[in-house]
Structure 1
Amino acid sequence: MAEKASFLSNTNEENGNKKEKLESAPSLCDDVIFNILLRLPPESLPKLRLVCKNWYNVISDPVFIEAHLHRSVPGFIFQKRISRSKYKTHFMEIKEGETKVHDLDLHCPGRICASCNGLILLESMRSLYVINPISNQRIMLPPSDLSFKYPLSYEIYGFGFNSITKEYKVVHVCEYEKRKTPIPLGCEVTTVGSDSWREIDGPFFGLTELRIPISASGILHWAIGMDYIVSMDVGNEKFHKTSFPNCSRRSYHFLELGEFLSFANRESPVQFDVWILKDLDSGEWIKQLSIGMDCLGSLLSQDSRWGGSLDPVLLFASFRNGEVIIFECFAIDIGGFYLYDFKLERIIKFDGSCGIQLIAMDTLSSPIHVNSLVSCKPRNNRRYLSN
């Protein structure tokens, strides 16, 4: 009995020492926790927010969310149609030349119209939603006013961010059916979280053709025919008209490059020139880089009909300040979408092995997307939905 009492006494003493050590163990300061969590992928953070109150506060802090957004690596978003009104959505991340595909559950069937800072503008059954697929947040936008005003022949949406007010805005530009309305175009804007649209003066100067806008640093840009672009500042909601760069314009496409609007033009059969709009007010374009056969020649040489020309190539998107480009090749034998990494000098094809298909160019202005924790929930808004 004495031995048993001695054993119990020793055990209790050891347990007490362990408890004392645990209680006296130093805790990490908030700055260290902040920097550790900052380096984790966005997909893991919603669950880690449940670990403790301190972690919840750090991960939910707008300062942390913005810092994490700027560290996140952009990739490409894809949709594959599985029925008439349903799509399957994927996100492809690219690290050190290797690709990895993740499924994105949008919790709402529909077609992606645009992406901005991790938020996705989605059209589903004639309704518009802003969705964050990482946090499973979504908000439904109010019904369009212009859609009920006159019969529409065509409509497009733009999605942008005002960095000053921290507001996200959706722009709706529509073309009315001819001979049924006194005005050719309508334009309205809604701030994500508001209950209505505001009709504004649209780009009525010579607009004869609508194309899906490119968003770059809070500016939405529409390409108009072969002559100029129309740009709208998301902050002041004013429109500008800017001429194309002074070049041949043989075959071109607009994309975002380092937060600037970029104009990629096939200057000759063997060279692409990429221009950036350096200043919107002055309309100044600067030639940023040239892409020649030394980059894509190894691919095109596989088809003898196009081995000496870039004619079947159309640049489609770019990220990491132009270090990575995505392009479409129209050659029959090697046709499809490709990615070229300038740093690694490597070409990757988006083929059936990925189980995905790049969404058609006429439905998405740019496939660039970044996963984030950015909230689509406005303050004091009860129309916020969460799964």
Structure 2
Amino acid sequence: MAEEKTVCAVMEYSNNLPPEIIEIVLLKLPVKSLLRFKTVCTSWNTIISDPVFTRIHLENSNNSPNNNDNLFITEKGDTERGFSLFKLEGGKLHADRVSENPSGNMVILCECNGVLLLRDSSGGVNNTSNYVLWNPSTRRVRCFNDPYGSTVNYGLCYDPITDDFKVVVMKRSSYSIFSCNSDSWTEVEESRSYDSVGWSGVFADGALYWLFCFEMARFDPETDELEALRKPEQLGDYDEFSLGRLRGRLCLYCNNTGDDERGIRIWIKEKNSNDWEAFVAIENVPTDPVRSIKFLHFVGNKILIGLFCTSFGLYYSPSEKTVEKIIADCGMDLCRLVPYRNSLCFPAVKTKTITRYYVGVMSFCSVMLSFLESVNCTQEN
């Protein structure tokens, strides 16, 4: 209610306020409010629809203490009820609300900037796969098919240079890239073979990362190139580890090497570098080896550790070095939850926009030519 009163006050004096001030106020609002305020007036709709505004709003939201980082969405949607949202409050995960199912019997594969990549869990037809890009905050949906099949793994990333969302589908000896801007696939042959361990790609630090057995790979969305990524020096050739994301940074976590198999070590990849920085060591974790961990996610100043096939998670405080247990209502399996992010982001349909613009310009030129011809004929007569 407070934010709506603020906006009403801005509306009252909006004629006397510069657009820059109005934009600053709008950037502080959640997605739900912004979608309503797009209908206030044309100028507000223009501001909120600007891709630059969308990117700044996402950055502000990621850095805000009130960014809804305690929301999670079920990995698999129910055909009738849709996807359920869960909220972490008071040491418990409880059902918050239901978000409608965008299309059929879908399962969430991965996330990028609040946009989710979904796949039809019923399987494709004629060796193709049906995919959906979905932003549950704005309810925008885009469907497409993968004509290649034989998938090993998936990933979703964003290229800020071309403002393009890209879906990358890994095969054993090649990978395919779907560009939302061009609405087309490109297949790239690889000289090496990849074996998946069943984890989707992680988008962090502006790139897409995969784990293949005991190796890592990095995909650059600006160049569409795939390269190997080295592990922290402390890890041996056959030490098991997993990848995740903490506050936008790529992290790697594994069991303590040695006698204590109940501890977890976490590294953070340094920005603009392939080096790793030791982040934290969690001792006496009441869980099986690291493969049982589904995700790591900051909620406030604590790290939520989601576990496979259990109705509870772990809540770790880096400052206090304490571990708490988080209980999920209704026996919800935490391996079915995915961190939920409020965002305005979604692939722009540039091809159609350009076509409409081109048709409009051609129509205008046609009218002007007809007018000039009629004026010329009048002068000659």
Question: TM-score, structure 1 length as denominator?
Answer: 0.70
The answer to whether the aligner puts 1:168 opposite 2:179 as a matched pair is: no
Could you list the structure 1 runs, at least 4 aligned residues long, displaced by more than 6 angstroms after superposition. Answer: 22-26, 95-100
CA apart distance, 1:229: 0.9
CA apart distance, 1:220: 1.7
Q: Distance in 2 between matches of 1:328 and 1:103?
A: 21
Query: Does the CA-based 8 Å contact 1:317-1:325 persist in structure 2?
Result: no
Equivalent of residue 284 in structure 1, options 270, 275, 279 = 275
The answer to whether the aligner puts 1:88 opposite 2:85 as a matched pair is: no
Q: Distance in 1 between matches of 2:111 and 2:46?
A: 27
CA apart distance, 1:350: 4.5
CA apart distance, 1:280: 7.6
Equivalent of residue 39 in structure 2, options 43, 50, 73 = 50
Distance 1:192 1:255, change over 3 A: same
Q: Deviations over 1:234-288 (max 9, x none)?
A: 211112113332236765321113433211111133532111233686x422212
Structure 1 residue matching 2:29: 3-state secondary structure: coil
Q: Distance in 2 between matches of 1:210 and 1:98?
A: 30
Q: Partner residue of 2:119?
A: 123
CA apart distance, 1:359: 4.6
Q: Distance in 2 between matches of 1:144 and 1:24?
A: 51
Distance 1:328 1:369, change over 3 A: closer
Unaligned runs of 5+ in 1: 1-21, 176-184, 301-305, 383-387
Return the index of the structure with the highest Cα Rg: 1
Q: Partner residue of 2:142?
A: 139
Distance 1:350 1:90, change over 3 A: farther
Query: Does the CA-based 8 Å contact 1:80-1:356 persist in structure 2?
Result: no
Equivalent of residue 24 in structure 2, options 26, 31, 35 = 35
Query: Does the CA-based 8 Å contact 2:93-2:326 persist in structure 1?
Result: no
Letter in 2 for 1:145: P
Q: What is the RMSD computed on CA atoms of the aligned residues?
A: 3.7
Structure 1 residue matching 2:22: 3-state secondary structure: helix
The answer to whether the aligner puts 1:229 opposite 2:216 as a matched pair is: yes
Distance 1:98 1:346, change over 3 A: farther
Unaligned runs of 5+ in 2: 1-10, 62-66, 125-129, 354-381
Q: Distance in 2 between matches of 1:46 and 1:24?
A: 21
Query: Does the CA-based 8 Å contact 1:162-1:234 persist in structure 2?
Result: yes
Distance 1:234 1:266, change over 3 A: same
Q: Distance in 1 between matches of 2:253 and 2:26?
A: 38
CA apart distance, 1:134: 2.2
Query: Does the CA-based 8 Å contact 2:114-2:343 persist in structure 1?
Result: yes
Q: Partner residue of 1:271?
A: 263
CA apart distance, 1:54: 2.8
Q: Partner residue of 1:9?
A: none
Structure 2 residue matching 1:90: 3-state secondary structure: strand
Letter in 2 for 1:230: A
More helix by share: 2
Q: Partner residue of 2:182?
A: 194
Structure 1 residue matching 2:134: 3-state secondary structure: strand
Q: Partner residue of 1:316?
A: 294
CA apart distance, 1:231: 1.6
Q: Partner residue of 2:103?
A: 108
Q: Partner residue of 2:311?
A: 336
CA apart distance, 1:129: 1.6
Q: Distance in 2 between matches of 1:67 and 1:37?
A: 11
| Deviates most, 58-67 or 97-106 | 97-106
Higher relative contact order (CA 8 A, sep 6+): 1
Letter in 2 for 1:277: K
Q: Distance in 1 between matches of 2:46 and 2:92?
A: 34
Q: Percent identity?
A: 21
Q: Partner residue of 1:65?
A: 54
Query: Does the CA-based 8 Å contact 1:208-1:224 persist in structure 2?
Result: yes
CA apart distance, 1:341: 5.1
Distance 1:373 1:25, change over 3 A: closer
CA apart distance, 1:62: 2.2
Query: Does the CA-based 8 Å contact 1:129-1:139 persist in structure 2?
Result: yes
Letter in 2 for 1:146: Y
CA apart distance, 1:160: 0.4
Q: Deviations over 1:302-322 (max 9, x none)?
A: xxxx8xxx7589443334499
Query: Does the CA-based 8 Å contact 2:77-2:84 persist in structure 1?
Result: no
Question: TM-score, structure 2 length as denominator?
Answer: 0.71
| Deviates most, 217-226 or 320-329 | 320-329
Distance 1:92 1:165, change over 3 A: farther
